[in-house]
Amino acid sequence: GVDESFRPPADRAAVRKQVGVSGSVVLMVGHTQGYMNVERMLRAVATVIARHGVDLTLVKIGLPFTQDQMRLIVELELGDRIEIVGRVPFAEVPAYFQAADLLLYAPLLAGFGLPPLEAMACGTPVVASDRGSIPEVCGDAAVLVDAENEGELAVAMADVLTNPSRRRRLIDAGFERASRFEWSVFARRWLELYRAVARA
């Protein structure tokens, strides 16, 4: 379930100042192995900047980029557009979700991924892969795209970052979606299940 520390910030400007970001912020989290599709996401970010004219910073928390990924960042001239935070204590993670304008989460393989729900709980729109369990987890509260199509990823990101009404719809749908996965909801459902089994 989604930890209760993932919630909308009381003062978003203060949170953004705390984590040291400004402008449009795209958040990338987690591992950097091949299945996480990092290279395509980096190319999509470069396209958003070059072709769609969106001024953004990509913030990466979790495991650092690989050497090959760092070379790609140089090749794409993204060096001054990326802030590599690395691993942070769990207590500090929600602030990065709260400060972001968008979570980019497009793995090629995915089980039950919490990051999209954590972003939604913070009021952060999500552009995600249409693979694995992600569509089931996100429902209609995220923009789901073909994870192997860099162009689709870029168009989706640009739209979310520049279209206020689209952002608002995603934020509202995200709050509703994330609320279904809170620990208190899970606990209540398990209790109902146990009672039903006990009565059987």
Listed by start position, the domains of the chain span: 12-199
Tell me the DSSP string of 141-155: SSEEE-TT-HHHHHH
Q: How confident is the model at residue 194 (pLDDT cuts 50, 70, 90)?
A: low
pLDDT of residue 109: 84
Task: Tell which CATH classification among 1.25.40.80, 3.30.70.270, 3.40.50.12280, 3.40.50.2000 matches the domain 12-199.
Answer: 3.40.50.2000
Residue 128 tokens read as 């995600």
All residues at 6 or more sequence positions from 22 whose CB lies less than 8 Å from its CB, including other chains: 16, 57
pLDDT of residue 193: 58
What is the residue type of 53? G
Residue 114 tokens read as 């919490």
Per-residue pLDDT tens over the stretch 127-157: 999 999 999 999 999 999 999 999 999 999 9
pTM of the entire structure? 0.89
CB 124 within 8 A of CB 102: yes
All residues at 6 or more sequence positions from 95 whose CB lies less than 8 Å from its CB, including other chains: 9, 15, 18, 19
Residue 198 tokens read as 């006990």
| Residue 191 pLDDT > 60 | no
| Residue 199 pLDDT > 90 | no
- Mean pLDDT computed over 90-97: 96
How many percent of the chain have pLDDT more than 90? 80
- Mean pLDDT computed over 161-178: 97
pLDDT of residue 7: 95
CB 113 within 8 A of CB 137: yes
Find the range with the poorest average confidence among 43-47, 98-102, 111-115, 191-195: 191-195
pLDDT of residue 138: 95
